[in-house]
Amino acid sequence: MDSIQKIEMIIEALLFASGDSLPIEKIAEIIENDKKTTKAIMSNLMYKFQNASRGIIIREIGGAYQLCTRPELDEHIQQLGTVRKKQGLTPQAYETLAIIAYNQPVTRAYIEQIRGVNSDGVLLTLTDRNLIQEVGRDNTPGKPKLYGTTEEFLRAFGFSSIKELPPLEMNEIPEVYENVPLD
């Protein structure tokens, strides 16, 4: 067996045993290669999985890699009956998630300024579903929490990085008015 095949076998085993995403640094450490070489091996392995007639693929999620089932096979997997059912999000949750994804890190006040309504419940739901998380504190009075998206957000929406978000059209970006006098 040539050494690249052995390395690929090791990586497959690591991804399978991990269950969750595995950072490129950890993979590189275990296979005793540098990060750049490991990324090249991962790209090649991802290509092989993508183009094979298999039920699984390898996805890159925020600089980490994970074995995942092919999305087109979800209906068959759901027949197991033990798989977590995905609960849909409300339009308000999608709206809030989009605000956070495109503007992160953001405060609750910023989100509410754009939406025009209280967002406590939606933020709690998105946090409970591990789609957003607190990523720090703003350096303004009161030190409000800053929110950003999570690795689960990337996984759920099929992105490997936040940079893959589709660009917004200028007419889709809400204008935020501050100190506008009410008539």
pLDDT of residue 87: 61
Domains contained in the chain, CATH given: 3-78 (1.10.10.10), 91-172 (1.10.10.10)
More confident residue, 171 or 123: 123
What is the band of 178 on the pLDDT scale with cuts at 50, 70, 90? very low
Q: What is the pLDDT of residues 23-73, one digit of tens each?
A: 899 999 999 999 899 999 999 999 998 888 888 888 888 788 888 888 888
pLDDT of residue 104: 92
Cα–Cα distances in angstroms (integers) from residue 95 to residues 89, 105, 116, 149, 180, in the given order: 10, 16, 12, 13, 23
Give the start-end residues of each E strand in the chain.
Answer: 22-23, 56-61, 64-69, 106-107, 132-137, 145-149
More confident residue, 173 or 111: 111
Q: What is the number of H-type helices and E-type strands within the chain?
A: 8, 6
pLDDT of residue 147: 95
Average pLDDT over residues 136-146: 91
pLDDT of residue 68: 85
pTM: 0.57
Q: What is the pLDDT of residues 61-120, one digit of tens each?
A: 878 888 888 888 878 877 777 555 556 788 888 899 999 999 999 999 999 999 889 888
Residue 121 has pLDDT above 80, yes or no: yes
Tell me the torsion sign for CA atoms 113, 94, 88, 137.
Answer: negative
pLDDT of residue 181: 44
pLDDT of residue 179: 45
Residue 9 has pLDDT above 70, yes or no: yes
Q: What are phi and psi for residue 68, nearest 5 degrees? A: -135, 155
| DSSP assignments along 115-152, one per residue | HSS--HHHHHHHHHTTSEEEEEE-SSTT--EEEEE-HH
3-state secondary structure of 1: coil
